[in-house]
Structures are given as C-alpha cells and as structure tokens.
C-alpha cells in the first residue's frame, strides 16, 4: 500500500517537488511554488490522487489523504518552522473532516496555543476535583411531572469563568482525558442519584471515545456496583457519531448495555446524518430531538413538520421521544399536541447542582393546557 501511494505521489511530483516518507503513513513534500495558487493546486492534487482506490491482490482499498501545508513567508523561517506550521494545518484539516488540503494561517497558531493552555488547565481542574455536575429535569408531557433528569458536567474556570462542555469535552477527548473524566461523571452521577429516590432515572452523556473503549461495559457495570445504583435507573445518551467511528462493535455493546438493564437514548437527533438505518439496526429506548428543531417551532413552517414526522417514526419503532431545549409555552403546547413523550428545557428548569431542587417543579395550570396526545405507556409498544 505504502509503495503504491508513494508511486502515485511521485508521478505528480516528478521534477518539481522532493518527497519523503516520515514514518508510519506520513509523507512530506518540499518544493518551490510561484504562487499560493500553485501550492494549493499541488496539495489538492495529492488529495485527489490518493482518493482513487488502491488494488492489492484482488481487493480494492479506499484510504484517502489529508494535507496540511504552508509557504515560506519569512526568510528567517527554518525547516522546523515550516514543518510545525504544516503540521498545525494538517491537524486542522483532519479535524474538519479529512480528505482535504488546508493551508496554514497565522491565527491557527494562536488557536493551538490557546487550546494547549486550556488543556493544561483542564488537567489541573480534573486532578484537583474542580469539575462538578448539574441535573436538569426531564418532564413527562402527559402529566407535567419530572420523570427523569440529565446530568451535565460543569467547569468553572478560575479566571475565564464557566467554560461550556461543548468547548472542553472535545479538548478532553483530544488530550486523552475523556475516559477518566467520563468515569468520574458517571460515578458521581450514580452515587448522588442513589441517594435521591425521587429521581426516577438519570441520563448521562457518553462521548464516542468512551463508547468505543473496549472495556466500556465492564467498566460501567463496576461503577454501578460500587455506587449501588440500579442499572434500570440509568440512561446513557450517545450520538450518531458513534456509528461513524464504529469498527463493528457498536451493536454488540448496545446489546450488552441493554442486557444489564441500562436504557440507551440517541441524543441530538436530526443534527447528524439522522440515518434511519441506525434507528432500525440498533436497539435504542429513546431518541432526543435536537433543540434546533424545537427552536424552529413557530418560526419555520417545516420545523413542526419534521418534529411531527420524527415522533411518528419513533413511535412506530417503539421508541420514546424527548424534545430538548423547550423554552416557551407555545412550544410545550405544540409538542404535547404532536404526541411528544418527554420534554426538557429552561421552561421547566435549568440544570441545577442540587438534584432535590429539580424533583419538585410543578406548573399549576398544566391540566388546562391543550391535551397531550402522547401514548400512555410508550415502553409497552412493540415493533411490528
Ligand atoms: P446535550 O447532551 O444535548 O445537552 C443538552 C444541552 O442543552 C445542555 O447544554 C443544556 O444545558 C442545554 N439546554 C437545556 N435546556 C435548554 C434550553 O431550554 N435552551 C437551550 N438553548 N439550551 C438548553 P450544556 O450543558 O452546555 O452541554 C452541551 C453538550 O455538552 C451536551 O449536549 C453534551 O453533548 C455535552 N456534555 C455535557 N456534559 C457531558 C458529559 O458529562 N460527558 C460528555 N461526554 N458530554 C457532555
Ligand atoms: Mg445529552
Ligand atoms: Mg442533545
């Protein structure tokens, strides 16, 4: 394979660019280009030529290449400087989807530095137990009662204030911190929730990196054992990206987790590939409609149409539906009318460090609302 790749690179480099293999599957190219465009064209050519399948024996392999590159702008730039910049651009290219070429830009260096600082701070915060968790209520559409809760991790940075998990979870994933961090969240959530019987169930988010870890199931089983939290009260929220990175074990893992009694919820439905085949292939218990669709209720006519279609589909597959990001009364009414089972959002309550605080929210005029069309016991529906 390496020889074939090198051969293709050589064909397009011949006479103008020197090539090297750095080790593993990394190559480097060094050449003189008369313009940014010429350099970009060459980088794109590398990507294009690696995109065609490679034949080894009687099999075809699709591998692809990702390129980061830079041009020498300052006479003082050493080869090391150039390599470092190309590497930063490569990192960016990989992050933004692979199979493409991206040029180094000055601001990338600042971002990398920024990210490293944050990563160091995160390590420290984790080590000194400065992270915390909060619970947000999930309310049953029919009764308006709190039926479950979602656990959300929090980081209050000493100088920068609250850093959202959307920012620091990817950093933790990249820094190899997500496994201990994820375990900590799960253990903390289970041990707190074990003391609050009023909280029927607790949903914990699982990063795809955690999900792909070979020991996942044993690990979770031992956390449940240590904390004495019943598996039946635990929900794990995963996103579709799990299946994109999957090497074939996702189906088994989901089954093993469900065998333990844990429920599986598909988070942020509608934002990824929203592949219907995932819904059919894998046994989930619930899906969560992403808040971006809920935000469109009353704003875009197709917002409601999508939600209504997703609810119908989920119910036909025997899945319970939660709508995320419910902030307004008219969204509550629309979602109840459409038969949504559960709702979560600021309308009912913000995430709170004290789980007792969220078990008792009640909206007095609940009964006077437009009636809910949610089926009475969504768990009893079976797939036909
Ligand atoms: P998510 O799992 O979809 O969590 C829901 C997010 O929506 C939370 O954001 C929550 O605070 C926010 N939210 C709840 N109600 C409303 C509302 O009415 N309006 C709006 N605009 N937002 C609302 P948060 O806490 O910032 O978390 C963001 C994401 O970070 C989560 O999205 C989840 O993917 C990830 N995350 C949070 N905690 C963990 C964790 O412990 N482990 C992992 N792997 N990921 C986590
Ligand atoms: Mg979630
Ligand atoms: Mg979500």
Between 3.30.70.270, 3.50.50.60, 2.60.40.10, 3.30.420.40, what CATH number should domain 2-104 receive? Answer: 3.30.70.270
Given this model, what pLDDT does residue 73 score?
Answer: 85
> From the CA of 152, how far away is ligand 1's center (Å)?
6
Given this model, what pLDDT does residue 220 score?
Answer: 98
Residue nearest to atom 27 of ligand 1 (CA): 165
Q: Confirm or reject CATH 3.90.550.10 for domain 132-368, answering yes or no.
A: no
Q: How do the domains of the chain map onto residue ranges?
A: 2-104, 132-368
The DSSP secondary structure of 106-149, one letter per residue, reads HHHHHHHHHHHHHHHHHHHHHHTT-EEEEEEEEEETTT--EEEE
The beta-carbon contacts of 84-92 under 8 Å, at least 24 apart in sequence, are 85/109, 86/28, 88/112, 90/66, 92/68
pLDDT mean values, one per 10 residues, the chain (384 residues): 94 93 90 95 96 90 91 90 94 86 95 92 97 97 92 97 96 94 98 92 95 94 97 95 74 93 94 74 90 88 87 93 96 95 96 89 64 66 40
Given this model, what pLDDT does residue 382 score?
Answer: 41
Measured CA to CA, the distance from residue 141 to residue 251 in angstroms comes to 30
Enumerate residues 6+ apart whose C-beta is below 8 A from 265: 203, 235, 236, 237, 238, 284, 285, 286, 287, 288, 322
Given this model, what pLDDT does residue 202 score?
Answer: 97
Q: Which atom of ligand 1 is nearest to the CA of 178?
A: 44
Given this model, what pLDDT does residue 383 score?
Answer: 40
Among 125, 152, 209, name the best residue to mutate to test ligand 1's pocket (greatest count of ligand atoms within 8 A of Cβ): 152
Question: For ligand 1, is residue 237 a contact (CB within 6 Å)?
Answer: yes
Given this model, what pLDDT does residue 300 score?
Answer: 76
Residue 206's CB is within 10 A of a number of other CB atoms, namely 24
> From the CA of 183, how far away is ligand 1's center (Å)?
18
Given this model, what pLDDT does residue 241 score?
Answer: 82
Instruction: Name residues with Cβ closer than 5 Å to ligand 2, which is an ion.
Output: 205, 237, 267
State both tokens at 125: 């915060």
Q: Which atom of ligand 1 is nearest to the CA of 239?
A: 34
Q: Which atom of ligand 1 is nearest to the CA of 237?
A: 2
Phi-psi region of 132 (alpha: psi -120 to 50; beta: other; left: phi over 0): beta
Question: For ligand 1, is residue 164 a contact (CB within 6 Å)?
Answer: yes
Given this model, what pLDDT does residue 173 score?
Answer: 93
């Amino acid at each position: 394979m390496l020889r074939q790749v090198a051969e293709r690179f050589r064909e397009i480099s011949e006479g103008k660019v020197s090539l090297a293999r750095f080790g593993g599957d990394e190559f480097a190219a060094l050449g003189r280009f008369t313009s940014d465009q010429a350099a970009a064209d060459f980088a794109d050519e590398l990507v294009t030529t690696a995109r065609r399948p490679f034949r080894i024996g009687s099999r075809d392999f699709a591998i692809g290449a990702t390129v980061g590159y830079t041009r020498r702008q300052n006479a003082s730039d050493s080869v090391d400087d150039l390599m470092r910049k190309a590497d930063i651009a490569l990192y960016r290219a990989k992050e933004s989807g692979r199979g493409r070429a991206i040029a180094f830009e000055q601001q990338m260096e600042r971002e990398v530095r920024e990210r490293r600082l944050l990563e160091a701070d995160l390590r420290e915060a984790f080590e000194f137990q400065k992270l915390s968790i909060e619970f947000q209520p999930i309310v049953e559409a029919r009764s308006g009662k709190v039926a479950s809760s979602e656990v959300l991790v929090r980081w209050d940075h000493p100088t920068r204030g609250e850093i959202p998990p959307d920012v620091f979870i990817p950093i933790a994933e990249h820094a190899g911190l997500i496994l201990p961090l994820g375990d900590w969240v799960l253990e903390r959530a289970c041990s707190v929730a074990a003391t609050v019987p009023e909280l029927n169930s607790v949903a914990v988010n699982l990063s795809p990196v955690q999900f792909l870890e070979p020991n996942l199931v044993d690990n979770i089983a031992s956390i449940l054992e240590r904390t004495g939290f019943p598996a039946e009260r635990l929900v794990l929220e995963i996103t579709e990206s799990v299946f994109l990175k999957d090497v074939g074990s996702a189906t088994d893992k989901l089954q093993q987790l469900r065998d333990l009694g844990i429920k599986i919820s598909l988070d942020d439905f509608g934002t990824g590939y929203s592949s219907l085949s995932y819904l059919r292939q894998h046994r989930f218990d619930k899906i969560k409609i992403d808040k971006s669709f809920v935000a469109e209720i009353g704003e875009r006519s197709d917002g409601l149409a999508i939600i209504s279609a997703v609810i119908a589909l989920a119910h036909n597959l025997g899945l319970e539906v939660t709508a995320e990001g419910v902030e307004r009364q008219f969204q509550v009414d629309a979602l109840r009318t459409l038969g949504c089972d559960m709702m979560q959002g600021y309308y009912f309550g913000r995430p709170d460090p004290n789980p007792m605080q969220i078990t008792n929210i009640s909206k007095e005029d609940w009964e006077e609302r437009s009636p809910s069309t949610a089926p009475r016991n969504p768990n009893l529906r079976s797939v036909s």
